[in-house]
């Protein structure tokens, strides 16, 4: 979960905002909407590796596992908090996939 004390947010947020501006500006140079993904991937990967190196030195398995777990948790939390509600709205707007509806009926009977 991405929750840290407010005083630490105040320190990080301006730097994150500046990085976001840099990512958006660089991605716009490519002329297609999806270009930001490469910039975001690069920034997150380099940040994770730089923090790990500065704090712990050489990479070790436990550190790789911790970083991987952090990114997995980030993805899960993002999906749960942003993507799932978005998808629910789209289902309500456009209708659900019939196969999902069939599976849900079967699950309810269990």
Within the chain, residue ranges assigned H as helices are 6-28, 36-56, 61-78, 84-94, 98-109
Query: In this structure, are 25 and 3 located in the same domain?
Result: yes
Q: Rounded to two decimals, what is the model's pTM? A: 0.83
Q: Could you tell me how far CA 51 lies from the centroid of its own chain?
A: 18
Query: In this structure, are 109 and 71 located in the same domain?
Result: yes
Split into its structural domains, the chain has a count of: 2
Widest pairwise Cα distance in the chain = 54
At 8-23, the pLDDT tens digits run 999 999 999 999 999 9
Please give the residue range of the domain that contains residue 98: 60-110
Query: In this structure, are 4 and 52 located in the same domain?
Result: yes
pLDDT band at 3 (very low <50, low <70, confident <90, very high): confident
């Amino acid at each position: 979960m991405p929750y840290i004390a407010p005083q630490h947010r105040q320190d990080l947020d301006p730097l994150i905002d500046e990085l976001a501006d840099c990512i958006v500006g660089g991605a716009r140079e490519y002329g297609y909407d999806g270009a930001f993904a490469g910039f975001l991937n690069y920034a997150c990967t380099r940040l994770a590796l730089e923090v790990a190196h500065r704090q712990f030195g050489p990479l070790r398995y436990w550190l790789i596992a911790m970083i991987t777990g952090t990114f997995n948790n980030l993805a899960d939390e993002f999906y749960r908090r942003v993507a799932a509600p978005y998808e629910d709205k789209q289902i309500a707007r456009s209708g659900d996939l019939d196969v999902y509806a069939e599976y849900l009926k079967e699950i309810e009977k269990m």
